[in-house]
Structure 1
């Protein structure tokens, strides 16, 4: 499953090929790129919380989230390019992706009620939980959706431009993320329901 702006990922990866080769030539590790992505997300959140000029905030948030998305694409691609991919690296990659998004959303505490920001954080993570649960059950990793990672970044850029409507935009982000999780869950049910397998009791 690949829908929404995620369908542009192959095209975007091609645009980043030069940066990927340059990073590989300089010996930059995938984990360093992952950490940079978290840093870009945190800086975007800081801008949302502190920069009061909508124009300046929009430009800065757009640039930082573009770098955050680039890092999210480059860390895995760099690991494949250099043959340094590991299972632990995949864990770091996933944690970094979630950390970068939550750090950016944290900036909204200065613009909206805390309960709404926490709700947006929770629902923004739900699509990835569903995808990872499906992968753990043996299904192909499901990505994209009506409001995936890229769409959520775009909503934060709009929020930077019109902070007075932060509440509405966070509701859209939360509802869209929940819908995306539901769409992925339905696709997983269709893919896995016919399968017959034994599961062990867990506690």
Structure 2
């Protein structure tokens, strides 16, 4: 009996689906980098530096600058891979550098958001206030989707990105909490919920892909053995 084809997995990409469009907007920068032989790591570092400045603007509540530097942070994260592919210098270590850069950028922006939350209860910094605790919980939850993706990749599944709450959505939520501090608790709650949902979806996808690989393995081996016997 011929097995029925597996049901196609639904893709929950969120704003990550806009990455090809965003990459095309950055094509002039990629062309300059190729012409001048600029290392992709330069853009990784630039993205982390932009995230650090973004974190400072978040802490101060300067939301227009927050929007600018978060956009630059995302541009840096996009350009490192685009430049590596365009120059033909992609390497496994680049994956490591990219992951470290992304995690450092998240920590810097959430640190700024924690300071901003501590300033919402009057003069001074109120570190034991509920908004700060919520931001710290959100920052912790935001690491879970990445752990899920890396664990799946380590086991042999593709490295998954995107939403419903990925890197781009986190930047958007940080901006909203900076521009409208009254909704900061709501934003923190949604960061936690979205991160948990994204983690579950990535783990389910990884489990499905690994199970499919395990089933395909014996079938492929059997086909090879039949070919040898028939030869």
User: Into which bin does the TM-score normalised by the smaller protein fall?
Assistant: 0.7 to 0.9
Which segments of 5 or more consecutive residues in structure 2 lack a partner in the other structure?
1-10, 118-130, 216-231
Could you give the per-residue CA deviations for residues 55-86 of structure 1, whole angstroms, max 9, x where no partner exists?
Answer: xx221111111111111110011111112222
- State the alpha-carbon separation in 1 of the partners of residues 107 and 51 from structure 2: 8
Q: What are the within-5 Å matches in structure 2 for residues 140-159 of structure 1?
A: 140-159=158-177
Structure scoring higher RCO (CA < 8 A, sep ≥ 6) equals 1
Partner of 1:8: 18
Q: TM-score, normalised by structure 1?
A: 0.87
Q: Which runs of 5+ in 1 are unaligned?
A: 52-56, 198-203
**Residues in 2 aligned to 1:16 and 1:37: alpha-carbon distance in whole angstroms:** 14
Deviation at 1:163, TM superposition (A): 1.5
Larger Rg: 2
- 2:109 maps to which residue? 104
- 1:32 aligned partner: 42
Aligned length: 192
8 Å contact kept, 1:2–1:143: no
Aligned counterpart, 1:185 = 203
Q: Under a length normalisation based on structure 2, what TM-score does the superposition of the two structures give?
A: 0.77
Q: 1:194: Cα distance to partner?
A: 4.4
Instruction: Give how far 1:172 is off.
Output: 1.1
- 2:188 matched residue in structure 1: 170
Asked whether 1:18 is paired with 2:23, we answer: no
Deviations 1:10-38 (A, max 9, x none): 11111111111112222321111101101
Large movers: runs of 4+ above 4 Å: none
